[in-house]
Structure 1
Amino acid sequence: MAKLRISTLERLRQVEGSLESRVNRVRKRTFAIVQVAVAAGLAFWVARYFFDHPAPFFAPITVVIILGLTGGDRIRRALELSLGVTVGVGLGDLLVHYLPGGMWQIPLIVGISLLVASFLSKSPLVSNQVAIGSILIATILPPGTEGGGPDRMIDAFIGSVIGLATIALLPSSPLTSGRQEVSKLLGIVSSVLDDVAVALDAHGTRDAHELDQALDAVHNSQPDIDNMVSAAKVGREVSNISPLMWGSRRRVRSLERLIPPVENAMRNTRVIARRAMVLSQDGDSVSTRLINIVDELADIAASLSDVFDARTEANEAQDIPELVRRLQIIGARSDMGVISDDGVLSEYVILAQARSITADLLEVCGWSRESALAALAPTSETPAYPPEVWPGVLEED
C-alpha cells in the first residue's frame, strides 16, 4: 500500500484542468464555430445569389439553430427542427394574410399552428418551432416586408438542407469525445477504489474524510455517465450520416459496447464505497487479501483510463492483454477464502462488489459477460457459469 496516490477529487481536478483537456475543449469549440460560420455564410449566399432572394435571413438563422443542437439523436432532432421551422414560416405567412388583425390574431395563430403541428409530428420540438415561426412572421416580419411570401419558407428549407449537409460533410470525430468520457469515468472508478483500499487498510481507524469525497464523486457521476451515453449516440449518428466517417463504424460500435460495463463498474463502485464507509464507521476490518484485490482493481482501472485517453488502437493492442491477465488472476483468487475468520456483512458485500467490478472491467477489455463471469472463482456449488480458470493463473504473481 506504500504507493504514490491522489484523492478522487484531486484526480478529477487533474483530468478537467489538464493542458490536454483544455486544448481539446478549445479545439472542439473552435471547430464548432468555424462549422457554423461557414454553413451560415453558404446558406445566405445560396439563397441570395442562386434564388435571388433580397433578404434571406431565415437561411442562416435555420443553419445556426440546427448546428446548435447537441447530444444524442441530433440528426432526428435536426430533421424535426427543419420541418418545424419551414412549416412555421410558411404557415405564419398564410395565417397573417387571411386572419383578421387585432388582439385575437396571435392566440388564433398560435392555436392553429400547434394544431397543424400535432398532425405533422408528435415531437414537441416540431410543435414549438411551428408556433415560434408563425409568431415571428405575425409580429416582426409580417407579409409585405422585404423578402416576404414563399421566399421565407424556401429560405428556411435552404438553411435546413445546408445545416444537415454540414453535419455530414464537416463532421466532428465520432470517437474522440466518447473515449474521453470513458477514460474520465474509469479514472473516477480508479480513484474511488484507491480511497476505499486505503480506508480498508486503516482497519477502521482512519478519518473518513477522503471516503466522503469519494462518495461525493460517485454520487455526482450521473452527468458524466449521461455524457458518455450521449457521446456514443452522436458518434453513431455521425458515422452513419457522414461518408467521411463510414470507415469508423466498427470502432464506434466497439465504443458503444463499452457503455454498459463502464456504467456498471461505476454503479458497483458506488456500492463498495458506501459499504467501506459503513465498515469504517463500525470500526471493523477486512482481510489483507481483500484489500489487495481492491487496490489491484484501482490500479487496473487507472491503466484502462490511460489506454482510452490515448485514443490509439496501438496502445489497446499492447496494454489490454496484460490487463486481462491481471484481471483473470484477481477473478481466480476472489473466492470465499478471502473473507476473514470473523468476517462481518460489510466484508462479504465488498467482496461481492469487487467480483462484479472485475467482471465489468473484463467486459471493458472486450470479453463477453458470460466469459467474464466464468473467470471468477465459484462461490456456489452450482455456478451459472462454470469457472474457466486460466492454466497456471494462481501460481503467477
Structure 2
Amino acid sequence: MSDGETWSTTSGVVVPRSRTRSSLRRRLGRLRESAPAVAQIVVAATAAYVFAHLVLGHPAPLLAATVTVSSLGLVRDARPWRVAETVAGMLVGILIAEIVLLLAGAGWWQLAIAMTLTLIVARFLSPQPGFALAAVVQSLIALIAVGGAPFLRLLDGIIGGAAALLVTALIPRTLRRTELRDADELFDALDAAMSTIVRALRRGDRVRADRGLDRARSLQTYVDAWTGSLESGREVARISPFLRRQRGELQRHERARAALDLATRNLRVIARRAAYLCADGESRPVPADLLAELARGASLVRDALADAGREPEARAYLAAIARRLDPAALLPGGGVGELNLLAAVRPLAVDLLVAVGVPSGEARDLLPRI
C-alpha cells in the first residue's frame, strides 16, 4: 500500500487516507452537532426520573424517563410545539393503557385491545403519523411495565413531558449554527445556478442552460431546510430566556429567508426563458452580464446575513442595478425573447433588495417604468 492509503478492516479493501479522514471529520461533526441534544436528553430524563423516584416515591418511574427521551429525540427540529405534540401523543397512549389495565387487567389480548384503541384515538386526534406511533409505543410500555397504583404511570409520563418542555427553554439547542449553515447551503446553490445560467447565456449553450434550469429547480430543497431550522430557532428563542438577544437577529434572518424564497422562484422563471433563448446557439452578453451582477449582489446579501453592518453596502449595490433595469434602454432593438428575459430579472432584483431591509414598495419604485 502507498503512504496515501489504509486498509479497511470492515470491507477488506484498500481505502485512501483522505477518504478515511473525511469520514472521521463527518463523524466528529455529527457528534458536535448532537452535543446540545445529548445534554438536553440526559439532563431532562435524569431530572424526571429523580423527581418521580426520590421526591414522589414512585418505585420504578420508567415512563418518566422514556417519555422525556422520546419527546426530545436527537433530531435538530426541537420546536416546543413539536415536543408538546409528541408528549400529548404519548400521554394518550399511557392513559388508554391505564384504562385497559384497570378494566381488563394485563395479558396478550388486552395488549391487542389497547393498541387498537390507541391507534384509533390517536389517528382521530392528529393527522401526524408520528403522533399515533408515539402513543402506541408508550401504550405498550405502560401495559408491559405493570405495577404500582392506578394511573401512576400516567403521572410519570406527565412528569417526563413537563421535564422535556422545561429543558427545551432552559437548555436550548444551539440552533444558530445550524440555521446559518442551511442559509450558506442555499446561497451556495443559488450562486451555482446563477453562474451556470450566466455561462449558458454568454456561450449560447442550451445544454448548460438546461443544467442551470435543473439547479434552479432544486433550490426549493435548500429553502425548505433553512425554513425548518429558522422556525425552530425562532420558536425556541421565543420561550427561552437565554436566547432573548437572538430574537431580533432571527427576525432579520426570517425577512431574508422569505425574500430568498421568492428570489429562487423568480430565478426559475429566468432559467426557463434562458433555456428557450439558448436553443439558437447565439451569445447574449447583456442579460448574462446583468445576471452576473445580481449574483454578486446575492453574495453581498449573504455577507449581510452574518453581519448586519454589511446591509448598507448591499442595498447601495443592488439599488444601483435596479435603477438600470429598463429592458429597452439596456438592449435597444432587442428581440422580444431577450427583452422578456431582461424583464424577468426585475423581480429578482426587488427580492434581493427586500432581503437586505428595503421595503418592497420602495424596492419596486427603484425600477424604471416600462
TM class, shorter-chain normalised?
0.7 to 0.9
Aligned-pair CA distance for 1:97: 3.4
- Corresponding residue for 2:249? 251
Aligned-pair CA distance for 1:117: 5.1
Change (3 A) 1:302 1:20: farther
Amino acid at match of 2:172: P
TM-score (norm 1): 0.77
- Corresponding residue for 1:265? 263
The higher relative CO (CA closer than 8 Å, separation ≥ 6) is in: 1
In the TM superposition, what are the counterparts of 1:20-39 in structure 2 within 5 Å? 26-39=31-44
- Corresponding residue for 2:273? 275
Q: Distance in 2 between matches of 1:20 and 1:42?
A: 33
Amino acid at match of 1:240: R
TM-score (norm 2): 0.82
CA contact (8 A) 1:200 1:285 kept: yes
- Corresponding residue for 2:331? 339
Amino acid at match of 2:348: I
Please tell me whether residue 296 in structure 1 is matched to residue 293 in structure 2. yes
Mark the runs of 5 or more structure 1 residues left unpaired by the alignment. Answer: 1-16, 380-397
Residue deviations 1:82-111 (CA, integer Å, cap 9, x gap): 223223223312213322777753443234
Change (3 A) 1:72 1:39: closer
Aligned-pair CA distance for 1:116: 5.3
Aligned-pair CA distance for 1:153: 1.6
Amino acid at match of 2:170: L
CA contact (8 A) 2:304 2:314 kept: no
Change (3 A) 1:348 1:84: same
In the TM superposition, what are the counterparts of 1:168-187 in structure 2 within 5 Å? 168-187=169-188
Change (3 A) 1:84 1:46: same
CA contact (8 A) 2:87 2:161 kept: yes
CA contact (8 A) 1:239 1:245 kept: yes
SS of residue paired to 1:334: coil
Aligned-pair CA distance for 1:303: 2.8
Q: Distance in 1 between matches of 2:364 and 2:200?
A: 27
Please tell me whether residue 352 in structure 1 is matched to residue 350 in structure 2. no
Change (3 A) 1:248 1:102: closer
Amino acid at match of 1:221: L
CA contact (8 A) 1:73 1:233 kept: no
Mark the runs of 5 or more structure 2 residues left unpaired by the alignment. Answer: 1-21
- Corresponding residue for 2:5? none
Please tell me whether residue 376 in structure 1 is matched to residue 360 in structure 2. no
- Corresponding residue for 2:19? none
Q: How many residues align?
A: 346
- Corresponding residue for 1:109? 114
Q: CA RMSD in A?
A: 3.0
Amino acid at match of 2:218: N
